[in-house]
Amino acid sequence: MGLVNMIRSILSTKEQNKSEYNKDKEIITKPEVIYSPLEGEVIKLEKVNDPTFAKGIMGKGIAVFPNKGQVVSPVNGQVVAIFNTKHAIALKSDNGAEILIHIGIDTVNLNGKYFLQKVKQGERVSIGDLLVEFDINNIKKEGYDLVTSVIITNTDMYLDIKETEVEVIREKDNLLELTL
């Protein structure tokens, strides 16, 4: 439960955005394509073995089981937060999408072991910029599932979030389409 509260706290701009939207009657997000931050096997979010993500508590999205130990930026934007355990990173795109990339299930328990952060909070990033590297083999040896969830945490700002229909994806391929 601590992780959910931590993520909600870091991404609290969602509620601020909603009140700005209601007050100004202006759309503060734009339609956008979210590119894949990883390469690997695409998995429907509801099949992820973590109820916080599978039930959509944090928002809609998709997951990728990585075959390469790196995460790249799926958007042009800014690093909103990177957890001190380096297993999760939050981004805000230039078009207003708020994205959480959560590497593995319960990997927070590794306390950053096997993760190498490549960016800092507040840093500007472009599509394809390296965000985090991680050691797939050692994380698996420790018994962790590496399925990585890619969540749009401000889901309610979009009319639809369309998932890719491919089964295997490469970095920078279309992963999600956000429409208003």
User: pLDDT per residue over 105-158, tens digit each?
Assistant: 999 999 999 999 999 999 999 999 999 999 999 999 999 999 999 999 999 999
- Which among 98, 102, 108, 147 is annotated as catalytic? 102
Please choose, from the candidates 119, 4, 86, 6, the residue with its C-alpha nearest in 3D space to the C-alpha of residue 50: 4
87 among known catalytic residues: no
CB 180 within 8 A of CB 27: yes
DSSP string, 122-169: T-EE-TT-EEEEE-HHHHHHTT----EEEEETTGGG-SEEEEP--SEE
Alpha carbons 78 and 59: distance in angstroms, whole number: 19
Asked which of 25-29, 110-114, 176-180 is least confident by mean pLDDT, the reply is 25-29
Task: Indicate if the pLDDT at residue 23 is higher than 90.
Answer: no
Residue 14: pLDDT over 60: no
What Rg value do the Cα atoms of the chain yield, rounded? 15
Percent of the chain with pLDDT over 90: 83
Note the pLDDT of residue 5: 54
Q: What is the pLDDT of residue 24?
A: 44
Record the pTM.
0.87
Structural domains of the chain ordered from first start: 2-12+37-179 (2.70.70.10)
Residue 36 confidence (pLDDT): 98
Token pair of 53, please? 């993500």
pLDDT for res 28: 75
Mean pLDDT of 49-78: 96
Cβ atoms of 162 and 62 closer than 8 Å? no
Cα separations in angstroms, 110 against 6, 43, 141, 175: 17, 23, 12, 28
Q: For position 139, what pLDDT does the model report?
A: 98
Region 61-70 average pLDDT: 98
Q: With cut-offs at 50, 70 and 90, classify the pLDDT of residue 8.
A: low
Which of 12-26, 59-73, 132-146, 154-168 has the least mean pLDDT?
12-26
120's tokens: 């800092």
